[in-house]
Amino acid sequence: MGPNERRMEIMETLCHRRQETMGNLAFEFGVSVRTIKNDIDHLSLSYPLETICGRYGGGVRVADGFYMNRKYLKPVQQELLERLSAQLSGDDLTVMNSIFKDFALNKKTG
């Protein structure tokens, strides 16, 4: 398994488990903890991952609500839609809120 394939497997594992230790990931993928840390550093450039300091090598978790193979609004897109939604009412506002529910990583409340 190459690095890119391993990284995608790591992301799928994290999306399923939501949180895991670096040591467990290293054992599971047959690589060193240093390699997993490098993989997480690489993945965190594209995915909402948070590393956790810990006594036993720390861990990593994926942001609440994030799942692989799902499309999300970019922050600038979400900001524009939030500004536009302030002018909506009735069915139009209901539709806009459903867009936030389906595609916004940080859910709009309101």
> So what's the pLDDT on residue 106?
65
Domain identity same for 53 and 11: yes
Yes or no: say if 3 and 31 are a contact pair by the CB < 8 Å rule. no
Domain identity same for 79 and 106: yes
Domain identity same for 102 and 57: no
Domain identity same for 77 and 55: no
Domain identity same for 56 and 79: no
Domain count, the chain: 2
Residue-wise pLDDT for 48-92, tens only, equals 999 988 776 689 999 887 887 777 788 888 899 999 999 999 999
Domain identity same for 56 and 75: no
- Confidence category of residue 102, pLDDT binned at 50, 70, 90: confident
Domain identity same for 7 and 53: yes
Domain identity same for 14 and 41: yes
Show the domain range for 86. 71-110
Domain identity same for 58 and 84: no
Domain identity same for 49 and 76: no
> So what's the pLDDT on residue 110?
46
Domain identity same for 58 and 76: no
